[in-house]
Structure 1
Amino acid sequence: MNGDWLLRGRDGRLSVYHLSGDAVLCRSERGPGGPWTDPRTVGGDQRLHPVGGVGRGADGYAHLVAWRPTRKGESGLVHSTHFRPHLAALDWNPIGHPDKSGDRTGTPAVAVDAQGRAHVFVRSGGGGVSLLAQKEKGGWEPWRDLKGGDVRDGLAAVTGESGRVELYAAAEGTVLHWRQEEPGAVPVLQEVLETGVRPGTLHALATSPDGTTVFYTDGTGDLCAWRPGGKPATLLPAAGPGPVAAVRCELDGHDCTLLAQRSRSGRIAFAAYPTGRESAGAWWAESGPRLPVDATVCLTADEDDRVVAATMSPSTGQLLLTRRKSEPGLALEAWREV
């Protein structure tokens, strides 16, 4: 799943969303901090391709988007909303194709604005970026061509603290940044950063009242952070080849950004630094067991604002979870299988 697939609902329960075969599955806590449910299929019996995106609104609702086969050689996007973890999600609703017809064009990315409107971004067949946004009172706006060229798969959508939606995408030797200039507006391509980016490593996070930060691995293998309007900062060598997860949290009274990544050893590596102060430096500390090559990690905060980390392996279906202990520093509980 593209996006943060470990989410906290408005009732405080945690949920995870993951692809399995031709379906999206959800597991959730029966109560905050309690035991977990068995996996449940999201959106009914619709057969899906194994690619999708998820985004969470300020209201705690999860918005999911996936591709479904429509006819031989062609596919279309579908959308579902999951209001509460203990309830069934809405059935998949067809929302079309960025090129009107054709096969899959890329992995969708989803962000939800302050009014609860889902924004679906996806590569178009021509290599640019297309947007489909919900109307505030139901239905969808028409598809919008956001331009761009030779955009790679792995878009990173994010909602800033202002409630406005932003998008980052990688192209050959560049990172592109789109941003809404006002709520409800079509995002505009505002800046292009010249840098090498390893495919599939973009991750965006809201880091200030009026700004977001994108993390990526550059061509030399370093993990970098960039806020539009400034220069990129090198944080530390990437722990592994895959994407990084990030969350803001309070550590010992300080606003910090916590990063996590599957390391080359197969364990999860964590690093933290004061939010917005990349120059302060960071270093990796590994935790937990060795995981399969396809395992990914996601971070969030529970209803007590304790950091929670989860790992999921599509090949095994194994879900592991840990929480920060109630003590100074970044001490974690023992990882446990859910």
Structure 2
Amino acid sequence: MRGRGAQAVDRETRSGVAAEARLGRPSGASAPTGSWLLRGNDDRLSVYALVEAGVHRWTETAVGSGRFDGPDLFPVEGLTSLAVAQGANRYAHFLGRRERSGGGGPKTDLVYAVQYQTGRTLGDWRSLGNPFRDPRDAASLGAPTAAVDGQGTVHVFVSGGPGGVMLRREARSGAWEAWKDLRGGVVAGGLSAAANSAGLVELLAPGHRSVMRWVQTEPGADLRRAQDLTPAPAPGSAALLETAPGVFTAYWSEQSGTGVYAQRPGEWAFPAGGAPGEGPHATLRAAVDGYDCTVLAHQGRTGTAVLGVCGTGAESGGLWWTDTGVDCAGTPALALDGHGRIVMAVVAADGAVLVNRQRPEPGLTLADWERLSGS
């Protein structure tokens, strides 16, 4: 962030020998969607990754310590994707797309589990079914995403089948409502959902020509279709960040490769620079040198993790982008630790999970990368 009150990101990577996972082999982790680096209700961080046997979790040993225990394995067979969401109470909600073989051929459904406290076990995995009955449509079920509104209601979104977006949400009684068709056009890549500080949910769905958008205007209300966002997005590249009370800024990569665009309601979309590769952006608001800043992270065009920062609300002036030099697979994750420091996690190309933390010095400078054990 040179010239903007912060320093560039350190590119050094701490070497380490790959540890063996509890199954006696490398975990071969992959990055979930959503924010897979979460701060729990006791202010410790947890890191989650999708592995062949289920979900791995590493938990910070103490608030802001930078040291992690784990991995703990939560078995679930057949997961092809994993999304993690967190509500205001900091419960962690897990949604997975699962494929199983049966007598009638492969069966695809969504499964759900919840973790109530940091470092504790997950509840039982339960099936949320599949919104599509036709076997071909059911097999085309996309990767889910989720958001938790201010009332603690989990909203699960998924695309597939004939196109559009399907929603299933948890009722106040704890039972799950029936699937609802939000319609819309064909979705290109993953969805992105979040709830703002007022507890209202918003959803972005990249299409072939625009980013489709749904909003919730009052607590408990149905989501309604809002104005699409243009220019055309790269598949699955949309993300949300609350940049003012109750106001989301949408970020996405432009389809032809001109970089990241940002847009707030009632404003035109504006370019924010960068050279993103595939996938969405991790987003975070953080104080850097006493300034309210927006931080973005993504997999760059060359396959390395890239970090961008600007003053919140000042994206039109461009972000200061820094390449960490660390190869990553999938989207990085960002969070604030219990001391307010920026923490970044990536899944490396070899499946190792790496974590880095802001140095306690002026500017935004990361320390050395730490390889989590068992990854």
With structure 2 as the length reference, what TM-score do the two structures score? Answer: 0.84
The counterpart of 1:297, out of the listed 332, 351, 355, is 332
Provide the residue aligned with 2:157 in structure 1. 121
Contact 2:354 2:369 in 1 (8 A): yes
Q: Which residue of 1 aligns with 2:63?
A: 32
What residue is the counterpart of 2:220 in the other structure? 184
Structure 1 match to 2:131? 98
Mark the CA change 1:106 to 1:295 in structure 2 (over 3 Å): closer, same or farther. closer
Q: Which amino acid aligns with 2:292?
A: D
CA separation in 1, counterparts of 2:205 and 2:159? 10
Of structures 1 and 2, the one scoring higher in RCO (CA 8 A, sep 6+) is 2
Aligned pair count? 333
Amino acid paired to 1:195: P
Percent of aligned pairs with the same amino acid: 36
- Aligned-partner Cα distance in 1 for 2:369–2:331: 15
Output one character per residue of 1:219-239: Cα deviation in whole Å (capped at 9) or x when no partner. 232111122332111001324
Q: Please state how far the C-alpha of 1:98 moved relative to its aligned partner.
A: 1.5
User: RMSD value over aligned CA atoms?
Assistant: 1.8
Q: Which residue of 1 is the match for residue 281 of structure 2?
A: 244
Letter in 1 for 2:77: R
Q: Counterpart of 2:35?
A: 4
- CA drift of 1:88 comes to 0.5
Give 1:215's match in structure 2, choosing from 242, 251, 265: 251
Aligned to 1:286: 323
- The residue number in structure 1 matching 2:208 is 172
Give 2:98's aligned residue: 68
Look up the equivalent residue of 2:345 and give its one-letter code.
Answer: A
2:367 equivalent to 1:333 = yes
Q: Please state how far the C-alpha of 1:265 moved relative to its aligned partner.
A: 4.6
**Cα distance in 1 for residues equivalent to 2:119 and 2:339:** 20
- Matches of 2:34 and 2:143, distance apart in 1: 10
Aligned partner of 2:179 among 143, 146, 170: 143
Give, in whole Å, the separation in 2 of the partners of 1:290 and 1:124. 33
Q: Distance in 2 between matches of 1:316 and 1:125?
A: 33
On the 8 A contact 1:22/1:50 being kept in 2, the answer is: no
> Aligned partner of 2:185: which letter?
G
Report the secondary structure of 2:157's partner residue. Answer: strand
Equivalents in 2 of 1:3, 1:27: separation in Å?
17
Shift in Å at residue 131 of structure 1? 0.5
Choose which of 264, 278, 303 in structure 2 pairs with 1:227. 264
Cα shift at 1:22: 4.3
Residues 1:20 and 2:20 aligned together: no
Letter in 1 for 2:224: V
Residue 112 of structure 1 deviates from its aligned partner by: 0.8
Write the letter of the residue equivalent to 2:317: A
Q: Counterpart of 2:110? A: 77
8 A Cα contact 2:108 2:141, kept in partner = no
Distance change >3 Å, CA 332–CA 199, structure 1 → 2: same
Letter in 2 for 1:146: L
Q: Distance in 2 between matches of 1:193 and 1:104?
A: 25
Asked whether 1:108 is paired with 2:108, we answer: no
Per the TM alignment, residue 295 of structure 1 is displaced from its structure 2 partner at its CA by: 4.8
What SS class does the counterpart of residue 319 from structure 2 fall into?
Answer: coil
Asked whether the 8 Å contact 1:23–1:50 carries over to 2, the reply is no
Q: How does 1:192-207 map to 2 (within 5 A)?
A: 192-207=228-243
Structure 2 CA distance, aligned partners of 1:8 and 1:195? 34
* 2:15 match: none
